[in-house]
Amino acid sequence: MSATNNSSGDYSVTCDAIIVGAGLSGISAVYKLRKLGLNAKIFEAAPDFGGVWYWNRYPGARVDSETPFYQLNIPEVWKDWTWSCRYPDQKELLAYVHHCDKILGLRKDVYFGAKVVDARYGEKLGIWTVKTAAGHTATAKYLILAAGLLHRKHTPAFHGLANFNGKVIHSSAWPEDFSAKDQRVAVIGAGATSIQIVQDLAKKADQVTMFMRRPSYCLPMRQRTMDKNEQTAWKAYYPRLFEASRKSRIGFPVQAPSVGIFEVSPEEREAYFEELWERGAFNFLAGQYRDVMVDKNANKLVYDFWARKTRARIFNPVKKDLMAPLEPPYWFGTKRSPLESDYYEMLDKPSVEIVNLNQTPIVTVTDTGVLLGNGSKREFDTIVLATGFDSFTGSLTHMGLKNKHGVDLKEVWKDGISTYMGVFSHGYPNAFFVATAQAPTALSNGPTIIETQVDLMADTIAKLEGEHSMSVEATKSAQETWSELIAKMNEHTLFPLTDSWWTGGNIPGKAARALTFIGGIDLYEQVCREKVDSWEGFDVLTKGSVL
């Protein structure tokens, strides 16, 4: 599928704003920029809308944010849209973005199959020039980078992988014709994607072997169907619900105790844990006592409850100790806790094997399977790489994004990412990052943080245009101060004690550092708006306007 102007051979594009990416971030951005009266165009590498939900079509793929919060707060879109369940799957999410397209008329402003390979800023004219692999050249005053935080796949360098005679599938490039029937499947990885794949394939394949370094601390999803009448009744409250999500820490309006875990009795604490557990979703995390992420003893109590609940569902004693050991392999909440429905029951099946890579590493991939460190062999028909992504920066550092001095972002960030508020970057005038690092992104409901940052972007542009200014750019000192703030916020917590994609620690050679603003969406938006309103930390060039 292609945009009208793309299919007509329009390879020279002049507009007010260029948006890279046609997922939820790109859709939100073009919607807000149109409200300002700007002519915005989207360039998307994929053949259609969807972003992460276009690429990730693996078995079991579904969102783990509950209805109604995983959608954009666009009344003309949600008033005629009904979800089928509490946690929609990938196909339903794609149907939702196509509904956005239908209602908002997005397609006319999108160039599909247009992977950005070069973007550079001309200081003299104050113009961004963007080029795509398909041959487009586009110019605009503003550049919005909405390519997503989980786009560029990470494939570990397994020795001998090219020798394997079966299928090798990365989770983000799943073939439509794959069938698990009669298959012996290896799944490498134990994060959120692996959990959904294993949970699904264990019901279909002859044999599933999951290779992991450490288990995920999964939480109960509590999936259920939802009918149209129920959602119609709730829509009267949508404006207040969406407002409450923006004023919350993680994008869900969950009330958490203002006291520490040891300030209540063991009986009260246990009853509260049970209540959070039964609610499902991320309530067991979002609703925790205030000291759980800073006090190891408090954190251990939360882990002990989780382990007790989880161990009761696994009957194989070896698997029980692998997936929910009595002593935590890392601190609770310092790595993503995916949601599951019957994951642990599927792992308990005799046809599912778990291999601990810390004890038994993969030495090499052979033509028929893998050779392990203890000398044993496993034979497979398919190897699934659920090995994650080069998060936050991967999609940005591989599009030829140059600063005003002609230096590529990959070089600028080689020693670690550095931004101002996660939205602006020194050396990149009139460029805006959406849903990346140094913001609450990794700890937030996707659409909530997207709209927070897109609104900040749109309001910054409106202010700039209202002042008839040419450009806005973060100062180097403000950027350094922001990075220091992120580091200081994290260093007093348990987060730095765990390597994960939240810190970039999953990518060999990547400089690991605190990448998340952990103060919550509510505090983040307050701080950002104060700085934009006063132009604190910005250099503003006052000349020119496109309105």
Taking only Cα atoms into account, the Rg of the chain, rounded to an integer number of angstroms, comes to: 24
Q: So what's the pLDDT on residue 545? A: 47
The span from the CA of 126 to the CA of 121, in Å, is 7
pLDDT tens per residue across span 230-279: 999 999 999 999 999 999 999 999 999 999 999 999 999 999 999 999 99
pLDDT of residue 1: 30
Length of the chain: 547
What is the number of other CB atoms lying within 10 angstroms of the CB of residue 477?
11
Q: What pLDDT sits at residue 547?
A: 47
Q: Which two tokens stand for residue 174?
A: 């799943």
Backbone angles phi, psi at 389, to 5 degrees: -140, 160
Q: What are phi and psi of 370, to 5 degrees?
A: -135, 150
223 close to 198: Cβ distance less than 8 angstroms: no
Compute the distance between CA of residue 157 and CA of residue 178 in angstroms, rounded to an integer. 24
What local confidence, expressed as pLDDT, does residue 152 receive?
60
Low-confidence ranges of the chain (pLDDT < 70): 1-9, 149-154, 389-394, 500-513, 544-547
Residues forming a β-bridge with 187: 210, 384
| First-last CA distance in the chain | 32
Q: If one looks up domain 4-49+106-152+391-541 in CATH, what number appears?
A: 3.50.50.60
Does residue 329 have a cis bond before it (omega within 30 degrees)?
no
pTM of full prediction above 0.75: yes
Q: In the chain, where does the domain assigned CATH 3.50.50.60 lie?
A: 4-49+106-152+391-541
State the Cα–Cα distance between residues 334 and 197, nearest whole angstrom.
23
And the tokens for 79? 């008033």
> What pLDDT score does 509 carry?
54
Residue 446, phi then psi, degrees to nearest 5 = -50, -60
Q: Tell me what pLDDT residue 392 has.
A: 58
Backbone angles phi, psi at 252, to 5 degrees: -125, 130
Query: How are beta strands 339-340 and 219-220 bridged, if at all?
Result: parallel
Residue 461 CB-half CA count within 13 A = 27
Mapped onto helix, strand or coil, the DSSP state of residue 185 is strand
Whose structure tokens read 């783990």? Answer: 64
Beta-bridged to residue 43, according to DSSP, are 20, 111
Instruction: Tell me the C-alpha to C-alpha distance, in Å, between residue 118 and each of 128, 160, 292, 329.
Output: 10, 34, 44, 43
Q: What is the DSSP string of 437-480?
A: SSBSGGGS-HHHHHHHHHHHHHHHHHHHHHTT-SEEEE-HHHHH
Longest CA–CA span in the chain (Å) reads 70
